[in-house]
Structure 1
Amino acid sequence: MTSVLSPEAVHEVLVAGSRAPSGHNTQPWILRADGPDGFEVRGDPARALPVADPEHRALRLACGAALAGMRLAVRARERRTHVRLLPDPDDPWAFARLRVGSPLPCAPAERALAGAIGHRHTHRRAFGEGEVRPALRAELRRAAEAERSWLYWIETSGERDAVAALVAEAARTQDADPAWRAEQRAWTGRGQDALDGVPATVSRPPRDDPWRVRDLTGGAGDPDRPDRHATIGVLATAHDLPLAHLQAGQALQRVLLTATVHGLGASFVAPPVEVAPIRDRLRTLLGGALWPQAVLRLGPKAGDDPPSPRRPM
């Protein structure tokens, strides 16, 4: 069978997947070309975070985000995509198979998202002044809905204070755990030659920042000012099974790429979804019907950190 994608295009699809976000930039995926015009997304247990993510929920989100990038890269080549999630019930690390289908014109919005893949990276600095406009918040929510997820905006001062309190409590819980501290040290404060993890050159948040409560530089980064202007959103799903995690990961990448297209920066507020009792309380704050999968901070960029390193494809 003759492939409809050139070897160069196959490589570019895999690279698009490898640009996905992941906790501590662990890049916990194995991305493969699978026969003529097929691809496979697998989780990599060797790159798991057993303390922060013992049930591999965040690992599945990262792999779902990788799948979303690969889908968009195929769509940019004006081909249909056919996806099967969790294709092998006997293989817990087989997350998705992607097949390239027949020709189909690529919508301008999809092309813009695909074009943003190489420009998106986590914005760890404080944001500038100015809110994320209601019309753009609605567009970001639609991006999540396209992948069977929901983006809940933390809009009132009462909700904002409540979520900030959960962030602080979760951070204190994690800081008190020597195993968690060791795991964070293993993946952060990396040198210039590292191909994964968080580089020591990212900015270091001040102690009184309500949303950035982790120093990922090993104490080496330049201190930043407090972030008082972030817009906070919670990406959530209707259930909490592995299928929902993969769907939420695809939604996450679409939301982040949509933000990138509109010139916004975005990063993660991880503690309240990593500490199980705090995550349950966050779920209650959302009304009890949705399962929080990621907490995001978004806003206009004010300065920038260098992109996180990537393993070669």
Structure 2
Amino acid sequence: MTTALSPQAVRDVLAAGARAPSGHNTQPWILRADGPDGFEVRGDPDRTLPVTDPDHRALRLACGAALAGMRLALRARELRTHVRLLPDPEDPWSFARLRAGSPLPCSPAERALAAAIGHRHSHRRAFGEGEVRPGLRAELRRAAEAERSWLYWIETPVERDAVAGLVAEAAHAQDADPAWRAEQEAWTGRGEGALDGVPAAGPRPPRDDPWRVRDLTGGAGDPDRPDRHAAIGVLATAHDLPLAHLQAGQALQRVLLTATVHGLGASFVAPPVEVPSTRAALRVLLGGALWPQAVLRLGPKAGDDVPSPRRPV
């Protein structure tokens, strides 16, 4: 059984999907209604990052995150959701079809996650005082597990030093690549009125911060203080096929929204999963059985986030 949606409901679901995170805020998806009760999530081949993401793995993560937001928007309307991933084997850009089903009460947890969609923004500044408590770390891990993924916490000093070393190694390799630098400059430091990319706002990370190694402000921000005590988590999957990327994207959005509900800020530590050699080394650090898909830094918010722009639905 399916349920016909009103035009406003369709717009709300599409808008929830469009709030998903994406590398350099490329928003690499095409979200569209599919009949009176359904939606399609497609990758947009015109919004790829050929140097940073040549195999479109991160693009699929972003589209999976968009799908998660759309699912939550339907659940907030107390409707079941029916999802088919990779519905067309002949179309590599067709990632998911989503349909609204019969009525089903929405849990308080789902309603809180749906309400957090419009409040989730990357927290690129240093975190405030305090830590991510063990109970909350466990809840964030369960959020990832709900989408067939795993959140591995980097906790010991030895592990933190090892991952920080991979961040530095990957950042150095990327900075030495003129094509990569040109791609980053094309998508960051955006001025007022931009509908995508990273705005030239907020602080610049200090040079001695091991987790924030990119200046995304185009050199316009004031230097921030170091942030050495962030909680570091690696979102990982059991395999590395496109299906896992879409599942990891849904897990990513659920983890970030759970963090938002609890007042935590989060942002990406992207370099080590973008460079093949450091991603392979990170996989070894995780034990060799999991594929790292994203590295996150989390902690109590300090100051307001700078919302990234969004294209109109």
Fold similarity call, TM over 0.5: yes
- The equivalent residue for 1:189 is 189
Once the two structures are superposed, residues 147-187 of structure 1 have per-residue CA deviations (whole angstroms, 9 ceiling, x without a partner) of 00000000100000000000000000000000000000000
Measure, in 1, the Cα distance between the counterparts of 2:54 and 2:152: 25
Deviation at 1:305, TM superposition (A): 3.0
Measure, in 1, the Cα distance between the counterparts of 2:206 and 2:109: 37
Contact 1:113 1:261 in 2 (8 A): yes
Deviating more after overlay: 178-187 vs 217-226: 217-226
Deviation at 1:128, TM superposition (A): 1.2
- The one-letter code sitting in structure 2 at the alignment partner of 1:45 is P
- The equivalent residue for 1:74 is 74
- Return 5+ residue gaps in structure 2 as ranges: none
- The equivalent residue for 1:205 is 205
- The one-letter code sitting in structure 1 at the alignment partner of 2:253 is Q
Deviation at 1:222, TM superposition (A): 1.7
- The one-letter code sitting in structure 2 at the alignment partner of 1:58 is A
Deviation at 1:303, TM superposition (A): 1.2
SS in 2 for 1:118: helix
Measure, in 2, the Cα distance between the counterparts of 1:50 and 1:30: 18
- The equivalent residue for 1:232 is 232
- The equivalent residue for 1:294 is 294
- The equivalent residue for 1:93 is 93
- The one-letter code sitting in structure 1 at the alignment partner of 2:288 is G
Measure, in 2, the Cα distance between the counterparts of 1:50 and 1:227: 31
Once the two structures are superposed, residues 234-271 of structure 1 have per-residue CA deviations (whole angstroms, 9 ceiling, x without a partner) of 00000000000000000000000000000000000000
SS in 2 for 1:110: helix
Measure, in 2, the Cα distance between the counterparts of 1:176 and 1:45: 26
SS in 2 for 1:246: helix
Deviation at 1:21, TM superposition (A): 0.2
- The one-letter code sitting in structure 1 at the alignment partner of 2:273 is V
Once the two structures are superposed, residues 125-145 of structure 1 have per-residue CA deviations (whole angstroms, 9 ceiling, x without a partner) of 011121100000000000000
Measure, in 2, the Cα distance between the counterparts of 1:25 and 1:221: 18
- Given the superposition, is the C-alpha separation of residues 103 and 178 from structure 1 closer, same or farther in structure 2, using an over 3 Å criterion? same
Contact 1:149 1:247 in 2 (8 A): yes
Once the two structures are superposed, residues 68-96 of structure 1 have per-residue CA deviations (whole angstroms, 9 ceiling, x without a partner) of 00000000000000000000000000000
Deviation at 1:202, TM superposition (A): 2.5
Contact 2:3 2:100 in 1 (8 A): no
Contact 1:64 1:245 in 2 (8 A): yes
- Given the superposition, is the C-alpha separation of residues 3 and 238 from structure 1 closer, same or farther in structure 2, using an over 3 Å criterion? closer
Once the two structures are superposed, residues 207-250 of structure 1 have per-residue CA deviations (whole angstroms, 9 ceiling, x without a partner) of 11100000111111121111112000000000000000000000
Measure, in 2, the Cα distance between the counterparts of 1:161 and 1:229: 12
- The equivalent residue for 1:42 is 42
Contact 2:43 2:59 in 1 (8 A): yes
Contact 1:129 1:229 in 2 (8 A): no
- The equivalent residue for 1:276 is 276
Measure, in 2, the Cα distance between the counterparts of 1:99 and 1:193: 34
Deviation at 1:112, TM superposition (A): 0.4
Contact 1:112 1:261 in 2 (8 A): yes
Q: What is the TM-score when the length of structure 1 is the normalising length?
A: 0.99
- The equivalent residue for 1:215 is 215
- Return 5+ residue gaps in structure 1 as ranges: none
Superposed CA RMSD: 1.1
SS in 2 for 1:152: strand
Measure, in 2, the Cα distance between the counterparts of 1:56 and 1:304: 31
- Given the superposition, is the C-alpha separation of residues 2 and 147 from structure 1 closer, same or farther in structure 2, using an over 3 Å criterion? closer
Number of equivalenced pairs: 313
Measure, in 2, the Cα distance between the counterparts of 1:167 and 1:212: 9
Q: Which 4+ residue blocks in structure 1 deviate beyond 6 angstroms? A: none
Deviation at 1:2, TM superposition (A): 9.7
Deviating more after overlay: 221-230 vs 114-123: 221-230
Equivalent positions of 1:253-264 (< 5 A) are: 253-264=253-264
- The one-letter code sitting in structure 1 at the alignment partner of 2:29 is W
